[in-house]
Amino acid sequence: MSLVVQKFGGTSVATAEQIHRAARRAIQEKLAGRRVVAVVSAMGESTDRLIELAYQISRNPPKRELDMLVTTGEQVSIALMAMAIHEAGHHAISLTAAQVGLVTDSVHTKARIHSISAERINRELDAGRIVIVAGFQGVDPAGEITALGRGASDTTAVALAAVLEAEVCEIYTDVDGVYTADPRLVPQARKIGRVSYDEMLELASLGAGVVHSRGIEFGTKYQVPIHVRSSMTDNKGTMIVPETPGMEDVIVRGVTLRRDLARIRLNRVPNRPGSAARIFERVNAHHLVVDDIIQNVTGDGTMVDIDFTIDLEDAPQARALCEMLAQEMDIGSVQVEDQVSKVSIVGVGMRSHTGVAARMFRALADSQINIENINTSEIVISVIVRRDDGEKALRALHAAFQLDTGP
């Protein structure tokens, strides 16, 4: 019998009525003869509320306790969803990550999934139940509750779909698919019918918050077809699938904005083997994720300047770390620029078209936007701009690559 994993995001279970609607979708699939696993997020913005509460109590809440707190949101919604299914006369059971056996590492607030046991879920499915699993949470090998990072219920869903060999993982959300840009920022954005795993991974990690990037990593690795669609309609959404030949015809599939970044600059780092290794080993040991590293030789060649970007929320920690390193390693000074954003264009078509970068820079120049850094890879070109210019840059690029009007 085929199996489907359905994931309902916070906006799709924000009210009792929406929970009933989500329950009806799960039941519909069950009645069509499929095994159904639903992964549910916390209701509406309740995770935000929990985090605000934590910071009312403490300016620096212990991360273990933060995870204990934020994962409660999903426990509420899975129970309500199971009740809604019972109310409609069908069998369902809600399970937390610990009950499923979803094991993660011990990095609180951004834990990574290590393994998932299919045993309990399969037993419940065999008994004819719809299984409702809490998204976003895990349990480490010592039994501690962990959280997988903001927006990570998607990752729970795709990882489960991989383990259970689901036919499809459906992501139900408040938009009817993946768009060429965030429709809240670019009203002209259009729905994409099909996007490759590689493109979606880049779009998601570069700011398209519609699907959590780690979920796409699982999707790619285990070739899980992912269908992003609206919980309000039955329309077909966006299919995330392996790349097919025609996909390279479109140069840019989408544009993204990562608004809240900071750039850390280490001035006058001694130019000798091991300097960069020592800096980034230390940063990595604190689980800070950096990108866009730039190194320039300065003066007579005995020194280098090293720049890197980081999530704005990690900037205070990164600054403290770098100031310590500056003392230990005789680094000149540490500067933090906290008003930067990253704008990117993504598409497999870049592999077979030339002049894409020049066209991007021209569009930014014509909009009077200054580029602070540039980073390119096979299917992405990113620029760092001042935060005030971020949305303008996004819209300029959306228009320049004809995403407003289609190919």
In the complex, which residues of this chain contact ligand ASP (CB under 6 A)? 9-10, 41-42, 47, 73, 135-136, 150-153
The span from the CA of 365 to the CA of 2, in Å, is 52
Among 138, 151, 347, 390, binds ligand ADP (CB under 6 A): 151
Residue with smaller CB distance to ligand ADP, 56 or 233: 233
Among 73, 135, 138, 151, binds Mg ion (CB under 5 A): 151
- Contacts of residue 11, Cβ cutoff 8 Å, sequence gap at least 6: 44, 173, 174, 231
Q: Is 262 helix (H, G, I), strand (E, B) or coil?
A: strand
Residue with smaller CB distance to ligand ASP, 147 or 340: 147
The span from the CA of 93 to the CA of 87, in Å, is 13
Nearest residue to the partner ligand ADP, using Cβ: 9
Pairing of strands 3-8, 168-173: parallel
Give the sheet arrangement for strand 145-147, strand by strand: 113-116, 102-104, 137-139, 145-147
Q: Is 10 helix (H, G, I), strand (E, B) or coil?
A: helix
How is residue 305 written in tokens?
């300047």
Which does residue 178 bind out of Mg ion, ligand ADP, ligand ASP, none, counting CB within 5 to 8 angstroms by kind? Answer: ligand ADP
Which does residue 101 bind out of ligand ADP, ligand ASP, Mg ion, none, counting CB within 5 to 8 angstroms by kind? Answer: none
Residue with smaller CB distance to ligand ASP, 240 or 345: 240
Residue with smaller CB distance to ligand ASP, 51 or 239: 51
Beta bridge partner(s), residue 230 = 173
The span from the CA of 398 to the CA of 70, in Å, is 36
Strands (E) across 174-221 are located at 194-196
Residue 208 interacting with ligand ADP (CB under 6 A): yes
The span from the CA of 229 to the CA of 219, in Å, is 16
The span from the CA of 122 to the CA of 112, in Å, is 23
Encoded one letter per residue, x for contact with ligand ADP by CB under 6 A and - for no contact, window 16-55 reads -------------------------x--------------
The span from the CA of 280 to the CA of 289, in Å, is 10
Nearest distance from residue 192's CB to ligand ADP, in Å? 8
Nearest distance from residue 12's CB to ligand ADP, in Å? 6
Nearest distance from residue 7's CB to ligand ADP, in Å? 8
Residue with smaller CB distance to Mg ion, 176 or 307: 176
Residue with smaller CB distance to Mg ion, 3 or 228: 228
Nearest distance from residue 83's CB to Mg ion, in Å? 23
Encoded one letter per residue, x for contact with ligand ADP by CB under 6 A and - for no contact, window 302-321 reads --------------------
The span from the CA of 251 to the CA of 253, in Å, is 7
- In residues, how long is the chain? 407
The span from the CA of 293 to the CA of 277, in Å, is 12
Distances (CA, A) of 35 to 128, 301, 306, 383, 384: 8, 64, 53, 45, 46
Residue with smaller CB distance to Mg ion, 151 or 349: 151
Number of residues binding to ligand ADP, judged by CB under 6 A: 19
Residue with smaller CB distance to ligand ADP, 42 or 364: 42
Q: Which of residues 222-261 bind ligand ADP (CB under 6 A)?
A: 254
Residue 182 interacting with ligand ADP (CB under 6 A): yes
Residue 113 interacting with ligand ADP (CB under 6 A): no
* Phi-psi region at 402: left, alpha or beta (left = phi > 0; alpha = psi -120 to 50): left
Residue with smaller CB distance to Mg ion, 180 or 231: 231
Q: Which residues bind ligand ADP (CB under 6 A)?
A: 9-12, 41, 151, 173-175, 178-179, 181-184, 208-210, 254
